[in-house]
Structure 1
Amino acid sequence: MSTGTGTEDLLRRLAPRVLAALVRRHGHFESAEDAVQEALLAAATRWPEDGVPDRPDAWLIRVASRRLADLLRSEEAGRRREERVAATTPRDELLAPAADEDRGDDTLTLLLLCCHPSLTPPSRIALTLRAVGGLTTAEIARAFLVPEATMAQRISRAKRRVRASGARFNLPPEPERAERLRSVLHVLYLIFNEGYTATSGADLRRGDLTREAIRLTRTVHDLLPADGEVAGLLALMLLTEARGPARTGPDGSLVPLAEQDRSRWSRRPLEEGVALITRTLARARLGPYQVQAAIAAVHAEAAHAGGTDWRQVVALYRLLDDLEPGPVVTLNHAVAVAMVDGPHAGLALLEPLDADDRMAGHHRLHAVRAHLLEMAGEREAARDGYLTAARLTTSLPEQRYLRERAARLPGTP
């Protein structure tokens, strides 16, 4: 987009609202999503010159509806469907602000629609990132480490499958809703992570994505206040986002958690996150997001890195490994164990990951191992690990940080 940050943020907020309006009124999820994307592109091109309309949502709905009519006319090769679409939405309604466009349940319904059971888990995530999260196909492809053309095909197939399933724009029945909600939470988590540590490019973080992930998660929490995992995910995002101001230096370089000036952490999201997870743990059935939020709260409550209760962190990672084992959990668990039992204990936890296909070629495994080797005094091996990790990451700030760590150790060319 060539628009300013304010316009980009506005378009990102409006995108799911406009898509929900079109799908609710007309159906045709596949074509409606395409129409909304074209309306967003038109806005990104015209608004910087013409100014943002007084009712930007109505403007987008009007443009997207016209484009939807064009798409359906092309697909159906006839004017009858086009006339039917146009007839369902009078012109004055398109121009009106449409009070129901801001209904939170529309966003939840759209999120659940993108996680339809006819889709594979990767397709659910990709479609939601595209339709609701506002990520481009290229950004989603980087997140999943696949070519952009492959991801574009996956998203197109997902939209066609939703259409073929006959899914309607309404909440699914209760037995199905819980499983789809888990998929929705995973998608929101991925959106946040893509924003907090961008997978590529010159910037370490993208505040537009983290803000959007928090906004959408807060919307779901407002609708489902008793759900412990929704609350846990929101708390985790808030606690993580609170570190943002201290996470980069004046030149944009990465500052790791142990070296951050914690006085620069944002107090409002930190306090909200701690309070939210404290309340949630007291009343809700425990889940993985709540445990991750509890770990983040332990870090948040330490005035400095040396004051971290690492034994409590280790215990929480063991609990998380029981609830939802995975290589990323193992990586973080290994660091915590190293802080309690020494680096060799942490290195031992990493050994099984060498045979895990999900970690093959992933820079984080090499970076964590290098950190623990440095702690153990094996400086040459640590240097090689940092350089390997730097070659594997596509994030420029991470590359610089890893090379700087390597440069502190002997043997650097």
Structure 2
Amino acid sequence: MCAGEGILPLGPLSGAVAGTVKFTTTLIPPESPFLSVSWSFNGSNIITSTSINVTGPGYDSRISLDRATGALELRNLVLEDSGEYTVTVIADRGLQQQGKITLNVYVMITGATIRSPAAILIEDKSSTNLSCEASGSISTILWMKDGLSLHSGGRVSFSMDNRTVFIQPVHSSNHGTYQCQLCTMKTCSKSPIILLELMYITLLPVLEAQKVKVWPEVTGYLGQDVTLPCHFIPGSKGENVTQVQWDLNPPQGEKLNIIVSNGNYGVAAQNTFLKERVDIKEQSLIIRQVEMRDAGSYTCNIAAFPSGSFEGTTNLVVQKQMPLSPKMVSAIVIAVMLLLLIMATITYLIFIRRLHSSVRHRVHIDTGGSVIDVARPPVIEEDVVYSDIKLKSSRDATPSFNDKHTETARADDVTYSEVVVLRQQPK
């Protein structure tokens, strides 16, 4: 037997986690089937196919073998599948052929972004840096400025892993749009997220009176919309706002970029818990359907050309219940006063009616023919009924309290009359 070479193509092969890779051979299917086809990984059996198939542990549902050519398909890749693969084929006449190839499994790149410290950059005095951040299997990082490759030299330098570019000090020629391109073991691609995270280096030849105006504190109410005002006050004519970015500053950890509004690329909400509920109107941040977890410190970053970058921080306080407005309070007070006035009026009317219905008339009559006393309330005109007058003989006549009282009753009005008659006896 002799070992054949070159039955596998040149490697290495690359595959993404959870993806599929196929190991092909250069063999032509023979007239008679191969006596044996076997694959191994780092010396351990994957599959040995003769009259029966013997599959190694963990490969039953992940592999497919082509007995005619000896090709192997491996599915649901994991990082641990990276290594050397060996195929051994024995033909009908007993000739053994073998080949080896290396597989590299990588993780797809996600969450790519560019970060830079917010600062006013002054030509020939200030320095800055841009950092390219992402997760995944990154083999190389390439930097571009205004769509062209950025190389080290002069004021520009790179970190050892190429993740960070340094500009020391900045110059007017450094103004522009920067982008990082991330490459895996297999291909290079530009993430759409990176395009939304364009960083502008702006220069400030002459410092003038510019600033960002924000509110120190804004109160939002649960379930309602809230606006965090942010206004850029230019220091001179001809200034243009090129980018507005809002960040959330958690008590612990790095700033969380929420949303970016760029003059060239539009508005892009980042992948945070606020993504579906935020928007930018001019430079102000709008948060819809406020939640309790939205409370915190927010920073408005504004990049303007040619003046530079500016920022302002505002604190959002979230409350569960919205207080009554001054108009609502006034309406409630007026309603209560009207109610009290109506109740007082009704009480007064009831009191007057009862007073009128209980009037008493008292009449004193002297039988000698002169009226000695008539007591009757003035003004009030009431009917007086005289009935059953009884006389009692007495030298010193005293009022009789046995007189009968007659009541004249009507539906809502009762008048009481009392008549007392006095008679003097001859001496």
Q: Which structure has the larger Rg over C-alpha atoms?
A: 2
Above 0.5 in TM-score? no
TM-score normalised by length of structure 2:
0.24
TM-score normalised by length of structure 1:
0.25
Relative to its length, the structure with more helix (as a share) is: 1
Relative to its length, the structure with more strand (as a share) is: 2
